[in-house]
Structure 1
Amino acid sequence: MATEEPAWPAGWERRLRPMVTVLPYAVLAALAAFTAVLRRDSLDLVLCAAAAVWNLALFTARPAWRDRPAVVAVFLTGLNLFGLVMVVRDPWFGFYSVALYAYAFQIVGWPRELYFIAAAGVVAGTAQATGLDYASWAGWLGRAAVIVVNVLPFCLIAWLGEVMVRYQTGRERALREAREANARLEAALAENAALQERLVEQARAAGVLDERGRMAREIHDTLAQGLTGIVTQLQAAEHLADDPPAWRRHHAAATALARESLAEARRSVNELRPERLETGRLADAIAEVAATWSDRHGVPVAVTVTGFSRALRPEAEVSLFRTAQEALANVAKHASSATRVGVTLSYMDQQVALDVRDDGPGFDPLSLNGGFGLVAMRQRIEALSGTLQIESEAGGGTGISASLPLEVSP
């Protein structure tokens, strides 16, 4: 069902308000004066007065009724009947159709206004057709033609007005929606800017934490391991003071460890790879560090490489190398009674794995407190989407297995 729309925009409605508040009374007053001066017909004066009273009672004095479609319809129907009776009696009352048109255009919404515009056209056409011969078909056709000439143009004007109103309403709605969209966009941009600031701050904080973790791991893997080895060698030398060759061997090992740790510390500060990875492949670097560790601690280490050896991403090689270093350091620290150690580097289709196993006393993994060395190993491996597993049992030795996705270096 079509809904009624205001006949005019709000601005035009204010400008045209006098047409329905003043014009009808002015037209009736002029017609009544004309009638009184020229014709002195009391019935015509009564009709003018009745129309004015009808207008006053149902429209002017009752502004609240103007929003009631049924009351407005009764009001306009009565006015058109008054107008039709008056033009039948005297054709000059056709001027009253001006007020009828004004009311139809102003106070009735689309499309009901067409009915009252047509009624006003009938009043005006009846006045204009006075004098035609109603006894013949030609007279009736002429009367109908005059009425149609009055009705159609004004209905067309009403339709064009409705098109204009809808266009204007649509334009204003589009402008309002555009303003609202711009306001939402500005709010979203401001929110995104604030979010970007928070993200930058969080990234900065995360970078600081990552750098602290990296430095802690590097210090542990260089200085801490080196100092632990130096202390071990010096303690051994202290117990062998009566055996000069053995004392010199442990003293030389402590000196070499100190120099190596110093070099590694400098490289860590400069964010470089371990020296052994700078000069060789991962498998060779692990074999070299295992051989050095075996010479120092007198425990044989078997290094095995399976699969097709290939170059990995630098960070992956560093993580696996440091894991091997830490695992061997843990054997020296916690499994000094071990008689053999096995290190296996496996290149598979989708991943590369490192296993370090010893036959030491082992321990209960559930009672493991998680020293920094193990934490650092896990952080290194998991940061590259890898996994780290620790397998051990009392009297059954210990195994550390690290695996990383196999992404070869470019």
Structure 2
Amino acid sequence: MSAGERAAVIRVATAEQWWERFFRYGPYGLLGLATVVSAVTRELIMSRADVYTVAVLVPVALLLQLWRGRDPSGPGSRAARFYFVARTLLASVLTWCNPFFSMFAVLGYFDAGRLLPRRAMRAGMLATAVIMAGSQSGSGLPPVSLMNWITFLILLTLHGTLTMVFAQISNREADQVRTQVDTITELESANARLEQAMVENAGLHAQLLVQAREAGVADERRRMAAEIHDTIAQGLTGIIAQLQAVTSAAATDPELAGEHLVRATALARHSLGEARRSVHNLLPTALEHDDLPGALKKTVTTWSERTGVRAEFTVTGTAEPLHDEVGATLLRIAEEALANAGRHAAASRAGVTLSYMGDEITLDVRDDGRGFDPAALPPYRGAGGFGLGGMRARAERIAGTVEVETGPGLGTAVCARVPLVRQDREAVG
């Protein structure tokens, strides 16, 4: 086995171990975090009856989790189904008492495919979507006003889209596993006829096939996770911000509230389109009708209107038609860099520059915000958030690099540099 193959095996094993640890210990951490946050906010959100209810149900949820740890039955078993249903019911009541318990309820998105039969998986995810939408709509369930109903329905649509994406991921992984198993079975039958002469070679061949299948599944999971983060998660963040503005302005300025509601609806439609394209591995919506400079200009303008931060976009050099993967990578990096600036930088100005430089193309995203200490960031592990580590991973897939210049109080500059791979002339024509 070569060094590269050994590294691939180690990466796949590490990813699988990480997911196993998450499904084993993640519920305890999320339940504990939700309980702490709810305790801090109890005087603002919860009634006395809610506090008593939470005090009873949190230990019940903990006991349920301990029972599950002692009885790890396989997917679709009676014990696994009972655990999922019981945990979902507990999470819904806890979320009703305090919306911050949605941090515990979100587990339904991740393990419905591991615990429920395939025919019941979508129903389990839909139940989770209803809980999440109710917790984020501002009034819990049921909604108490027309504006809350509108907010709830928009969020439910977005979470329903998220359900569709997760179900598609699970179905695709299951189909891929079945296909690979059939292939392995056929190859094992063929190798059996040569067993006397090629015993060692056949064993190695089977092992490499299993590793390739697992690596393919892990790569597909990472790709879809990155797409969800870059499209649906950021879309949800923008929608929530717009809907919060609607709630704030509804009583004093109905016209302004209407404008925010229109923006939230537009973001919802855009996120739905991105979700469908992520499932089918298509180009970002912005690149379907525009070249990269046009798509980046619209992205910067939209981000500036949504965040209120003054932003400028500049192109240097002679623009050329780029390969789809290059354009999509740079657009996603720009979206992530701007999203980070909007969430963390507290900037007053930002700038995006796209430079065509012969055989390479660079993208610079800078802001005058608070900056940060790069050494204080945790290492990127290919899961969870998709910040600087995710941008570097995207660039490295097309032989590029991402560099960051920043410091506390010095603003931030993100520079992505990738090879300029031109679009095939026949494809352009």
TM-score where L is the length of structure 1:
0.52
Is it true that 1:382 corresponds to 2:392 in the alignment? no
- Could you tell me which residue of structure 1 aligns to residue 406 of structure 2? 392
Distance in 2 (alpha carbons) for counterparts of 1:245 and 1:357: 34
Higher alpha-carbon Rg? 1
Question: Contact (CA 8 Å) 1:356, 1:401: kept in 2 or not?
Answer: yes
Give the secondary structure class of the aligned counterpart of 1:372.
coil
Please tell me the residue identity of whatever aligns with 1:282. L
1:284 to 263, 280, 294: 294
Whether the 8 Å contact between 1:319 and 1:380 is mirrored in structure 2 is: yes
Partners of 1:189 and 1:281 lie apart in 2 by 54
Q: In structure 1, what is the Cα distance between the partners aligned to 2:197 and 2:362?
A: 47
Q: 2:373 aligns with which of 346, 364, 370?
A: 364
- The AA in structure 1 aligned to 2:404 is I
In the TM superposition, what is the alpha-carbon distance from 1:188 to its structure 2 partner? Answer: 8.3
What is the RMSD computed on CA atoms of the aligned residues? 2.0
Match of 1:221 among 216, 227, 230: 230
Q: Compute the displacement of 1:303 (Å).
A: 0.9
Instruction: Map 1:129-278; keep pairs closer than 5 Å.
Output: 190-241=199-250, 242-278=252-288
Q: Give the gaps of 5 or more residues in structure 1.
A: 1-184
Give distance in 2, aligned partners of 1:212 and 1:402.
24
Shift in CA distance, 201/257, structure 1 to aligned 2, threshold 3 Å: same
Mapped partners of 1:245, 1:368: distance in 2: 42
Q: Distance in 1 between matches of 2:317 and 2:270?
A: 31
In 1, Cα distance between the equivalents of 2:196 and 2:397? 37
* CA gap 1:188/1:366 in 2 versus in 1, 3 angstroms: farther
- 1:186 shift after superposition: 9.4
**Which amino acid counterpart does residue 396 of structure 2 have in structure 1?**
E
2:326 corresponds, among 269, 294, 316, to: 316
Question: Does residue 1:327 correspond to 2:337, yes or no?
Answer: yes
Amino acid in the other structure paired with 2:328: V
Q: Which letter maps to 1:395?
A: G
Q: Deviations over 1:119-149 (max 9, x none)?
A: xxxxxxxxxxxxxxxxxxxxxxxxxxxxxxx
The CA distance in 1 between the partners of 2:211 and 2:197, in whole Å, is 20
The SS at the match of 2:387 is helix
Check conservation: 2:195, 2:202, Cα contact below 8 A.
no
Deviation at 1:193, TM superposition (A): 3.7
Aligned with 1:373 (options 372, 378, 387) = 387
CA deviation vs aligned residue, 1:232-264 (integer Å, no higher than 9, x gap): 112223232312222222222111111111111
Total equivalences in the alignment: 225
Whole-angstrom distance in 2 between the partners of 1:194 and 1:312: 44
In the alignment, structure 1 residue 338 sits paired with structure 2 residue 352: no
Shift of 1:366: 1.5
CA distance in 1, matches of 2:197, 2:309: 65
Q: Is the 8 A contact 2:319 2:356 kept in 1?
A: yes
CA distance in 2, matches of 1:310, 1:189: 53
**Closer, same or farther: CA 187–222 of 1 in aligned 2, 3 Å:** same
Q: Distance in 1 between matches of 2:245 and 2:401?
A: 36
Q: Distance in 1 between matches of 2:326 and 2:400?
A: 10
1:194/1:366 Cα in 2 relative to 1: closer, same or farther (>3 Å)? same
* One-letter amino acid of the structure 2 residue matched with residue 298 of structure 1: G
CA distance in 2, matches of 1:381, 1:340: 25
Call closer, same or farther: CA 1:262–1:191 in 2, change over 3 Å. same
Structure 1 contact 220–373 (Cα < 8 Å) conserved: no
Greater alpha carbon shift after TM alignment, 223-232 vs 363-372:
363-372
Cα gap change, 1:395 to 1:273, in 2 (>3 Å): same
1:408 alignment counterpart:
422
| Aligned match of 1:115 | none
CA distance in 1, matches of 2:417, 2:375: 22
User: Quick one: distance in 1 between partners of 2:371 and 2:246?
Assistant: 27
Question: 1:384 offset after TM fit, Å?
Answer: 1.5
Partner AA of 1:309 in structure 2: A
**In 1, distance between residues paired with 2:338 and 2:369?**
12
1:339/1:188 CA distance change after superposition, 3 Å: farther
Deviations 1:280-305 (A, max 9, x none): 21111111111111222222221111
* CA distance in structure 1 between the aligned counterparts of 2:280 and 2:423, rounded to whole angstroms: 22
Cα deviation, residue 322, structure 1: 0.5
CA 1:201/1:344 → structure 2, altered by over 3 Å: closer, same or farther?
same
**Superposed displacement of residue 195, structure 1:** 3.0
Matches within 5 A, 1:80-99: none
2-side partners of 1:403 and 1:192: how far apart? 43
Following superposition of structure 1 onto structure 2, how do residues 94-113 of structure 1 map, counting pairs within 5 Å? none
Q: Map of 1:1-40 to 2, 5 A cutoff?
A: none
Counterpart of 2:364 (choices 352, 355, 358) is 355
Taking a change above 3 Å as real, the CA distance of residues 186 and 234 of structure 1, as seen in their structure-2 partners, is closer
Are the aligned partners of 1:240 and 1:246 in contact in 2 as well (CA < 8 Å)? Answer: yes
Tell me the equivalent position of 1:23.
Answer: none
Percent of aligned positions that are identical = 53
Taking the aligned partners of 2:376 and 2:281, their CA distance within structure 1 comes to: 35
| Alpha-carbon separation, structure 2, partners of 1:409 and 1:187 | 51
Cα gap change, 1:359 to 1:193, in 2 (>3 Å)? same
